[in-house]
Amino acid sequence: MKILVKFACWLVVVFFTTGLPVAAQKSKKREEINDRNAKNQAEAEHYFTEGMKFFITDDFPKAIAQFERSLQMVADNSGANYMMADALLKTGDAAKALPFAEKALRLDENNKYYYLLLAQLHEKDKNYAQAAKVYQDLLKKRPEEGEHYFELAKVYLYQGKYDEAIKAYEKVEKTYGINEEITRQKQQLYLKQNKVDDAVREGERLIGEQPGEVGPKIMLAELLIANNRVEKAVPLLEEIVAANPENAQAHLVLSEVYRSRGEAQKSQRELELAFANPDLDADTKVSVLAGYAGRLTDADSKDRALKLAETMVRLHPANAKVHALYGDLLLLKEQKARARDSYAAAVRLDQSVFEVWERVIRLDTELNELDSLLAHSGKALEMFPNQATLYYFNGIGYLNKKNYQKATEVLEEGQTLAISNLDLLNEFNALLGDAYNGTGNHRMSDQAYEEVLKGQPDNAHVLNNYSYYLSLRKENLSRAREMGKRLVDKHPDDPTYLDTYAWVLYVAKEYAAAQKLLEKAVKINAERNKENGTIVEHYGDVLYQLGQTEKALEQWKKAKKMGETSGALDKKITTGKLYEQ
């Protein structure tokens, strides 16, 4: 607290004591007007000091109260008026601050901070013309402080006075010389007025001032390209890369020029040179390649992009964005396993990006790599415990591993997070129907399936599994038959669905109808060069029930070669009789 008091006392010297004495020097008459008794002067200084203590601790309302009491003692103190205005501005009351700032400046026209505060208040009020006048007055008083032309140019911009803003920047140049920042500002102003030639000349002036620097040349080339003057940009860029082959930015710009001219090979060469440069940062490469990837339309262009990405990964192996983009490009090439591995590398480096986790997990699911799916989705859930889709995929992993109890627990937890998303909620219920069935909780399984069918009566997953499980239990066969028929009506050429409906009919002892469906399924698979032992075994079972025992045995033997059959198949083949598990 002692430090604060000392600091506040120093501010009193700066602000409070600079008010009355300066005014007193102007005239003896003014001194007499402002001559107050010693008691009032002491009180004014006391309140001002207290106000400064509150001000420097950001307690502005209390500071304002103290400054107000100080001004009641000495109304014409410039420092107290200034601090009152500043404190009011800090509380957001710019309108109330304005008269205090104006008075502070009237009392002391030599303090630049008074000008700056007043100009700021006018800007807050969007009174840009008045703000410009304040800056002009300040620069008349202090012409050596040319940096204030930046503020003047800014308020001219707000008014759309581009020529005046340019003149202000020219004044800055007289003080500080021509530099890249000012040149860029002037160019933008010329372009706003469609004065491209003037903008180009500004770029040429900068090059003339800095003939050995590459930056101004690249800046001018980019301006030329952006304004459809590519032909003028090309020799400039070629000159740069010839003299500075290590300049990656020049190679990037030149690559874009060649691309716009349809010179794909030259464009690719320049990109490769830029990407091979380890000094070009990874984020820039990612940005360039991501934009390039959006234009990939054929195998060759995808291969070229992949080559660039491989270079990027080699040079920046510790950058997560690099691996994520590499994964995107691999996915475009249908290289799902490699894409998944690249995404996995990305999340090892940066675990905070949910979208990348989701890509890893979806690919684990598509690749049916269950251990990887469980590991990745489990880790992602630690990072994003409120993301319902992660529970969904984690549940798929446990379900396919036949850990039905764990699948049920995970899916029930995720379901609570999907209440507001009806489609996702239905996906959870569909999986819960499978999981509950696996645990033997048929009542909950049926309930979950029925919940899905209320809103999605054509949900193929549910129609297939629900009808099949009912047939295995030999329960509610009329409902199973209804769902099986709906399923094949919607998907008449799907062998799996034909088999499901056929099995429902088989259990219902409608063997002839089941035979037709299975023959169709077998035929479709043959035409597609696909084998399915389950369907062929079922076909044999139906034939047996229809008294065609030799044909049944023939189908069972075919099924044996295909695989994915029941445990009773060997016994059927050995005895030539039907056995059901």
More confident residue, 569 or 13: 569
Q: Indicate the average pLDDT of the chain.
A: 90
State the average pLDDT over residues 176-185: 90
* Burial call 230-241: b when 16+ CB within 10 Å, e when fewer: beebbebbeebb
More confident residue, 257 or 313: 313
The number of angstroms, rounded, from the C-alpha of 149 to the middle of its chain's C-alpha atoms is 38
Q: Lowest mean pLDDT of 27-31, 560-564, 571-575, name the range.
A: 27-31
d(CA 203, CA 217) in angstroms, rounded, equals 8
User: Which pLDDT does position 571 carry in this prediction?
Assistant: 92
More confident residue, 539 or 41: 539
With a CB cutoff of 8 Å and minimum separation 6, the contacts of 581 are 566, 567, 568
State pLDDT tens for residues 80-107.
Answer: 999 999 999 999 999 999 999 999 999 9
Distances (CA, A) of 450 to 378, 429, 446, 490: 29, 9, 6, 18
Distance separating the N- and C-terminal Cα atoms of the chain: 87
Q: Lowest mean pLDDT of 103-107, 264-268, 340-344, 456-460, name the range.
A: 264-268
d(CA 303, CA 286) in angstroms, rounded, equals 16
Percent of the chain with pLDDT over 70: 93
123 domain residue, yes or no: no
Domain that holds residue 404: 351-456
Number of domains in the chain: 1
State pLDDT tens for residues 341-356.
Answer: 999 999 999 999 999 9
d(CA 568, CA 579) in angstroms, rounded, equals 6
Inter-residue long-range contacts of 282-285, CB under 8 Å, 24+ positions, other chains counted: 282/312, 282/315, 282/316, 282/319, 282/321, 282/322, 283/319, 283/321, 284/252, 285/312, 285/316, 285/322
For residue 74 the two structure tokens come to: 């000495």
444 domain residue, yes or no: yes
398 domain residue, yes or no: yes
User: Which pLDDT does position 36 carry in this prediction?
Assistant: 45
State the average pLDDT over residues 479-483: 97
State pLDDT tens for residues 295-325.
Answer: 777 888 889 899 999 999 999 999 999 999 9
The number of angstroms, rounded, from the C-alpha of 163 to the middle of its chain's C-alpha atoms is 39
Is pLDDT at 6 greater than 70 in this prediction? no
With a CB cutoff of 8 Å and minimum separation 6, the contacts of 460 are 487, 490, 491, 497
Q: Confidence band (pLDDT; 50, 70, 90) for 38?
A: low
Is pLDDT at 18 greater than 60 in this prediction? no
| Angle, helix 215-226 to helix 196-209, in steps of 10 degrees | 170
Distances (CA, A) of 573 to 503, 558, 579: 20, 10, 10
- Residues 185 and 153 sit within 8 Å (Cβ to Cβ): yes
User: Which pLDDT does position 579 carry in this prediction?
Assistant: 84
Q: Confidence band (pLDDT; 50, 70, 90) for 19?
A: very low
d(CA 539, CA 533) in angstroms, rounded, equals 10
* CATH code of 401's domain: 1.25.40.10
- Beta-carbon neighbour count of residue 489 at 10 Å? 11
User: Which pLDDT does position 15 carry in this prediction?
Assistant: 53
Is pLDDT at 21 greater than 80 in this prediction? no
User: Which pLDDT does position 299 carry in this prediction?
Assistant: 86
Among 241, 242, 306, CA closest to 274: 241
13 domain residue, yes or no: no
More confident residue, 413 or 258: 413
d(CA 293, CA 223) in angstroms, rounded, equals 24
State pLDDT tens for residues 182-235.
Answer: 999 999 999 999 999 999 999 999 989 888 888 898 899 889 988 988 888 888
Q: Confidence band (pLDDT; 50, 70, 90) for 488?
A: very high
d(CA 489, CA 484) in angstroms, rounded, equals 9
pTM surpassing 0.85? no
User: Which pLDDT does position 8 carry in this prediction?
Assistant: 40
Q: Confidence band (pLDDT; 50, 70, 90) for 10?
A: very low
491 domain residue, yes or no: no
Distances (CA, A) of 55 to 46, 424, 454: 14, 55, 66
State pLDDT tens for residues 126-140.
Answer: 999 999 999 999 999
